[in-house]
């Protein structure tokens, strides 16, 4: 599903601003890759982004897409959603949220639940880690797949 244009433009502008702050080169290809990601809430794979990008950057390689997304993730510009041990899926939405994953069709949907954003972990649980953040992933069967059964 496409994201509202105002949200996409805000994400892209924030991306450009943050990239400048981090000192990474802002190329048309990088902006195009990020825009494709920011333009959808479907959490696309690198391959899905590549299929769209190559229409207007025919010389771009899948390797470039992978490397660019990996760079974006390392810099905190996007997040990676690993679903059911399949290929990584990418998310430009950096607002605190969680994911529901369909075990049949592999669709990923965002969901927001304030109570999950305020979980209180015991010190015993976290004694060996410095927690930088967390997300909750619910695995199930989406309505579309349920209606097929």
Euclidean distance between CA atoms 44 and 7, whole angstroms = 18
Euclidean distance between CA atoms 81 and 52, whole angstroms = 20
- Ordered domains of the chain (ranges, CATH): 5-91 (1.10.10.10), 98-148 (3.30.1490.190)
Distance between start and end Cα atoms, the chain: 24
**pLDDT, tens only, 53-106:** 999 999 999 999 999 999 999 999 999 887 766 778 999 998 889 999 999 988
- Per-residue pLDDT, averaged over 106-120, amounts to 87
The confidence band for 129, taking pLDDT boundaries of 50, 70 and 90, is confident
Q: What is the pTM of this model?
A: 0.80
Euclidean distance between CA atoms 32 and 42, whole angstroms = 17
Task: Give the chain's mean pLDDT.
Answer: 90
The confidence band for 110, taking pLDDT boundaries of 50, 70 and 90, is very high
Distances (CA, A) of 124 to 119, 127, 128, 144: 15, 5, 8, 41
Radius of gyration of the chain (CA): 17
């Amino acid at each position: 599903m496409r994201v509202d244009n105002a949200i996409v433009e805000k994400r892209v502008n924030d991306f450009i601003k943050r990239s400048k702050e981090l000192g990474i080169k802002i190329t048309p290809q990088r902006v195009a890759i990020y825009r494709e990601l920011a333009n959808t809430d479907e959490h696309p794979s690198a391959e899905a982004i590549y299929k769209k990008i190559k229409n207007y950057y025919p010389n771009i390689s899948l390797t470039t897409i992978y490397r660019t997304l990996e760079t974006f993730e390392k810099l905190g510009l996007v997040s990676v959603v690993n679903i059911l041990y399949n290929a990584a899926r990418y998310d430009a939405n950096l607002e605190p949220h969680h994911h529901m994953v369909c075990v049949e069709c592999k669709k990923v949907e965002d969901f927001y639940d304030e109570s999950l954003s305020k979980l209180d972990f015991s010190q015993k649980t976290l004694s060996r880690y410095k927690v930088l953040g967390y997300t909750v992933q619910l695995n199930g069967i989406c309505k579309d797949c349920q209606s097929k059964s």
